[in-house]
Amino acid sequence: MKLVEEISVQLENKPGTLSELSELLSADGISILALTVRTDAAVGTLSFVATDPARVVNVLESAGYNPTVRHIIAAEIPHHPGGINTVLKTLKSAGINVEYLYSCVGPHGAGDSIVIMLGVDDTAAAHDALSREWIRLHGEELYSF
């Protein structure tokens, strides 16, 4: 099954905390490929996909963070109006709920396609449904984008 590792970490919701984490990772040669941030009052959750996830976890733990890792789907969608619906309709038909999604920062801009990160309520079923529809899914090769 082609999946990517999403790392999540709780951060204090104040100026500079994202910058500090970004600096920590970049100093270790790690690139963030896709990210989303959600805040709830004084706390924010940063969820991201980065190059070398095992090293990311090690760097974060060494710096005092408490990261969690979740396997999520990275699906390629066509870059045109309604392109995302290729994935969404497939998941809807399979009865799979999309909990969240965000896009990947690719090395060549948008181009003809975009990679989206999907957190769903049933990863295995979503992977199967998307694969049956010939939707291109990414695994570890995404880390070298």
DSSP string spanning 53-98? HHHHHHHHHHTT---EEEEEEEEEEESSTTTTHHHHHHHHHTTPPE
Q: In Å, how far are 30, 96, 110, 121 from 87, measured between CA atoms?
A: 29, 11, 17, 15
- Is residue 107's pLDDT more than 70? no
DSSP 14: S
- Report the CATH fold assignment for 4-69: VC0802-like (3.30.2130)
Q: What is the pLDDT of residue 103?
A: 92
User: Which residues of the chain are in CATH 3.30.2130.10 domains?
Assistant: 4-69, 71-144
Query: Rounded CA gap, 70 and 4, in Å?
Result: 8
The architecture in CATH of the region 71-144 reads 2-Layer Sandwich (3.30)
Distance CA 97, CA 88 (A): 9
pLDDT of residue 116: 95
Over the stretch 10-26, which tens digit does the pLDDT of each residue have? 999 999 999 999 999 99
Say whether pLDDT at 90 is over 80: yes
CB count within 10 Å of CB 26 equals 11
pLDDT for 24:
97
The DSSP secondary-structure symbol of 27 reads H
pTM: 0.92
